[in-house]
Structure 1
Amino acid sequence: MHIIGIDHIQLAMPSGEEEDARAFYQGLLGLREVSKPAHLAARGGCWFEGEGAKIHLGVEAEFVPARKAHPGLLVRDLSRLSERLEDAGFPTITDQPLDGYNRRYVSDPFGNRLELMERC
């Protein structure tokens, strides 16, 4: 047996902040929201999908943002996405180069760190 891929990543969020999640992940990052199964929907949170990426945001009662652990998301047109995020009040941070990628970090509305990576 061996790992063959990642189905989704899950990040935590505070209770009652689904609209902020939608504004960021759907409105700014361009992911589409998908319905959660009924037995999970009652817990709150949101699920989003895009080309090759699934992000589940789950409510955590004692929420603490992931500031070091993070997903690395492949993007197209990193400079345009960064500009869009910054215009919306989400500063991006350029980090040391990584062979084959341009990359920046951004925090979601809850302080979770995301790495945005564009192949070059």
Structure 2
Amino acid sequence: MPLLTAVHHVQITVQADQAAAARQFYLEVLGLKEISKPQALLARGGFWCELGALQIHIGLETFSVRAESKAHLAYQVDDLAAWRNHLQTQGIVIQDSIQIPGLERFECRDPFGNRMEFLQLL
């Protein structure tokens, strides 16, 4: 069987009319670095970001009930308490996660309904 070698990127989506707010949240609140999209994909809208070796693509679409989905992106951080505080000051509602051995974590939704998990290895 052929082997998978890495996760190259993940894509999340936001409502098409929330593109500017999404760019502000992901670039300014989360501090992700925007990278160039290929010219051939610019007409689709959205934007791409980079975090270490992983790309995060923020696409635009129309959908109905995003907030019910368990699909999510998990961010590993060095100071979970600082991130909890930072997100709360931005109006993000934090939900404590079921704790599992070896890490501390919490969940929240971005302003567009996408589930996010923040975790710190112990």
> Do 2:7 and 2:54's aligned partners in 1 also have CA atoms closer than 8 Å?
no
Give the TM-score, by structure 1 length. Answer: 0.90
Task: Determine the C-alpha separation between the residues in 2 that align with 1:16 and 1:10.
Answer: 17
Corresponding residue number in structure 1 for 2:66: 65
Two-structure CA RMSD over aligned residues (Å):
1.6
Q: Which moved more, 1:46-55 or 1:63-72?
A: 63-72
Corresponding residue number in structure 2 for 1:110: 112
> Do 1:90 and 1:108's aligned partners in 2 also have CA atoms closer than 8 Å?
yes
Look up the equivalent residue of 1:69 and give its one-letter code.
Answer: A
Look up the equivalent residue of 2:22 and give its one-letter code.
Answer: A
Query: Identity of aligned pairs, percent?
Result: 36
Q: Which moved more, 1:79-88 or 1:53-62?
A: 53-62
SS at 1:40's partner residue?
Answer: helix
Q: Which moved more, 1:110-119 or 1:47-56?
A: 47-56
The answer to which structure has the higher helix fraction is 2
Equivalent residue pairs, number: 120
Could you list the runs of 5+ residues in structure 1 that have no partner in the other structure?
none
Could you list the runs of 5+ residues in structure 2 that have no partner in the other structure?
none
Give the TM-score, by structure 2 length. Answer: 0.88
Aligned CA distance change for structure 1 residues 97 and 114 (closer, same or farther; 3 Å): same
Which of the two has higher C-alpha Rg?
2
